[in-house]
Amino acid sequence: MLNVQLFYLYLNYKRTILNQNKELHICNKLGESMNYSKTFKKIRIAKGMKLKEAAGNTLSISQLSRFENEQSMISIDSFIELLKNVNTSPEEYFYLLRQEEENELKNYFNRVKNLVNNKKYDKLEELAIDLKNQKPTSNSWMSFLVLFVDSIIILDKEKRILNQPRVLSYLMKVEDWGEMELYIYAIFGFVFDVETTYLLMKTAIKKSRLYQSIPQDMNLLFSILSNNFSTFILHKRYDYAEETLAIFEKKLSENTLLIEPHLDFLFNKGILDFTQEKEEKAKEHCEQVFELCRLFKLTEQEENYRKRYLIWSKSYLDPDFQELIIKIGFIV
């Protein structure tokens, strides 16, 4: 029996402006949706401005209309002037753009999460086809989402881990990991062999030090550790699982403000106890988690932990029992 669950959602990305041939290009880690034209149009309409007012002396009305409808590109200089025309700073504009594209990606991952957790794998296959029909570009977030969904489908259908050499190749060739690489590793750690997962975990911890002053990115590190712990338990590498918990505990001691990683740590200690047939000790750790959930009014989390506890308490002696928990992060 293999129990697969996806919890939470944590995907974020940064974008920059590149000036190439004086055209506006967004370096977009989501990849496909060129929402910057749509976002400008939304801002203009929200401010009650007509095309003529927004265009000013910068563009003709027809040029602006084509830009808003994604039919043409414009220069960066023109774009900055357009923002001035609609009384919007670049910082405000890119914040709105980021929110829009982030929401699009979140919606996809939420759909994946809900379909997997409700065992609707036929609908998940339909979603995979829909994503592939969008023809995502190589190394875009959407292309990695396709690979992720494919991996989950194979895991359900064939009860085997689908190796994703493209993901590993991408991670290995990037010398300096940024946020995107950490996100990719966070959700794909389960597709590699155990030794590779272990080595990449060391890389992820080292690379994540650059971001650990940001609470949101500390959440990412804890997601990585939780996912790796689950992978090591799945493959019965209890030595690696125990080492991962030790790292988890050390990182928690450096940052005690986040409640959910504390819950994960305690619950994972309970799981490790189950693997060592220490049922009473496992129950003790899990009861601490339930108590903290009640204290902080985390009703949904308590329900999820209780469901998993019941499964483990009934199945931990079954040699065929397996569980894989993939955290797609924390919403903060």
The CATH number of residue 56's host domain is 1.10.260.40
Number of domains in the chain: 2
Statement to judge: residues 76 and 214 lie in one domain:
no
Asked if residue 152 belongs to a domain, the reply is: no
In a domain, 100, yes or no: no
Same domain? 180 vs 80: no
Domain residue limits at 67: 16-95
Q: Are residues 203 and 86 in the same domain?
A: no
How many residues does this entry show for the chain? 332
Is there a single domain that holds both residue 91 and residue 168?
A: no
Locate 314 and state its tokens. Answer: 């009934």
Q: Are residues 302 and 206 in the same domain?
A: yes
Instruction: Please identify, among 45, 72, 95, the residue that sits at the C-terminal boundary of a domain.
Output: 95
Q: Spell out the per-residue pLDDT of the chain, length 332, in tens.
A: 666 665 543 222 222 222 333 333 332 332 333 577 888 999 999 999 999 999 999 999 999 999 999 888 888 889 999 999 999 998 898 888 877 777 777 888 888 888 888 889 999 999 999 989 988 888 888 889 899 999 999 888 887 787 889 999 999 888 778 778 888 898 898 899 999 999 999 888 887 666 665 556 678 888 899 999 999 999 999 999 999 999 999 989 886 678 989 999 999 999 999 999 999 999 999 999 999 999 999 999 999 999 999 999 999 999 989 899 988 753 33
8 lies in some domain: no
Percent helix, strand and coil across the chain, each to the nearest 5? 65, 5, 25
Instruction: Give the whole-angstrom CA distance, residue 10 versus residue 304.
Output: 18
Q: Within this chain, do residues 22 and 168 fall inside the same structural domain, yes or no? A: no
Distance CA 144, CA 290 (A): 35
Residues 175, 87 share a domain: no
Residue 155 lies inside a defined structural domain of this protein: no
